[in-house]
Amino acid sequence: MSLIEWDPSFSVGSARMDADHQRLVALLNRLYDAWHGGEGVDELGWLFDELLSYASTHFEAEEMALRAKGYARLEKQQADHLALKASVLNFRNRHLGGAEPAVLTEEMTLFLKSWLLEHILGEDMLYKSIFAED
């Protein structure tokens, strides 16, 4: 079962950003499925690491593209990106530290799903028009 299903309405007007967002959704879904499938600590730790790594790569590319366009809300994007990375790292560390799986899973699922959807459908949609000009 997927946590988030990609929908064309999530498109931000950039094929590159859309592909990155689809990959982030896929990684969140893999992490969610692994957690609910009873995967071991090593597998979940690896998925957290992959999510953090890919998110960092995407955030750098997105911020660079927005900087090149002179995007006025770049600082807000950067702050949101830092907050997400810090939260995912916190979830990962709590998981590896032995936090109660059921509580952590519920908390992580609600946070990641709402953050990603709110960020893409809210903040990222605000830059859609600058990519439509290309």
Q: Domain-by-domain residue ranges, the chain?
A: 14-132
Q: Give the residue with greater pLDDT, 106 vs 102.
A: 106
pLDDT of amino acid 132: 77
pLDDT in tens, 13-50: 999 999 999 998 898 888 778 777 766 556 777 888 88
Whether domain 14-132 has CATH 1.20.120.50: the reply is yes
Provide CB contacts within 8 A for 5, sequence distance 6+.
Answer: none
pTM: 0.84
CA atoms of 134 and 77, how far apart (whole Å): 21
CA atoms of 122 and 68, how far apart (whole Å): 21
Query: Given a cut of 70, is residue 126 above it in pLDDT?
Result: yes
pLDDT in tens, 41-92: 567 778 888 888 988 999 999 999 999 999 999 999 999 999 988 988 888 8
